[in-house]
Structure formats: structure tokens, C-alpha cells
Amino acid sequence: MGQLRIEHDDQLSSGTCTHCGAPFESVIGVMYEDDDPIAIYRADVFEHFHREPDPRVVLSIAVGDWSDGTDRTDRCSAAIEAWAVGDRIQMAFSDRAGATWQELEVVSWHLTSQEAQAGPLREAFLRLADHIAYQDRRLRRALAPVGPRAQGL
């Protein structure tokens, strides 16, 4: 495995969850392994997600072949929820995405949480999500440590 790197700008967009009405801000980034693009992601940052009282990030990660001559049928995506518990970040595959890739025409299919959890790309999605959660500075506000340790910061 090569070195992972994130490339992004500071552009923000906003939206509202179609299921619960919660507002969110979205950021987009591209993941590289060494110099090769391997994924694009969208992070929807919620102050409150559905009935959860704490901040949560929904990572929609699209993986597949990004070389010239490929199109969205060569890629798929999965959603992963991330939230802070103490000084760690917890993650779970999710069916509750805040926004979708449909308007960007990046992927042809989205894996359900069960498909992603049981599928051959499970570890790849989790590796990318872990790197994004800890390295994308735009997510720090939502994924900052909580509890007694955070109060002393």
C-alpha cells in the first residue's frame, strides 16, 4: 500500500437532510495513493444527525477506476457515518446519507450498508474513511474529542 494524500479546496456547500430536515455543510476531496487518484469523497457535516444529539459526519466515498476513458459505471460508493467518542472516532457503514452523488454523475451505483460491510471493498472503504476523518482539517470541529479530556483543551 502506498502513501495516502488528500487534495481539497475550502469550498463549502450546504443542504438539508431529506429524511429528518437537519441542516448540514458539505465538503469534497480527492484521495490519492502515491500520485494516483483512487477515490473522491463528500463529507456532510451535521451538528445534529437524525435523532443523534452530537455532531456527526457522513462520508460518501466513491472508489473505482479513474483513468482516462472510464466513466461512472467503473465506480461505486458507500456511506460511512463517523462520530467522536472520547478521544477516538467511531465509524459504521450507513444507509442514511445526507447527500448523494447523483447530481455529480461520479458513480453508477451506491452500496447499501450491508453490501459494503460484507463486500470485498470493506477494508478499502474503512482505510479511506479513517484517513479522511483524521486528516481532513475541515472535519475537526465535528470529530473533535468529547468528554473530560476535551474540556481541558
Nearby residues of 36 by Cβ (< 8 Å), 6 or more positions away: 2, 66
Helix residue ranges, H only, 11-139:
113-118, 122-135
- The pLDDT assigned to 151 comes to 42
pLDDT higher than 50, residue 3: yes
Residue bearing the bigger pLDDT, 17 or 135: 135
- Tell me the pLDDT tens digit for each residue of 26-71: 999 999 999 899 999 999 999 887 777 789 999 999 999 988 999 8
Say yes or no to pLDDT of 103 above 70.
no
Query: CA 21 to CA 39: how far, in whole Å?
Result: 28
pTM: 0.87
- pLDDT tens readout for residues 105-141: 788 788 999 999 999 999 999 999 999 999 999 999 8
Q: What pLDDT is recorded for position 5?
A: 95
Q: How many CB atoms lie within 10 A of CB 79?
A: 26
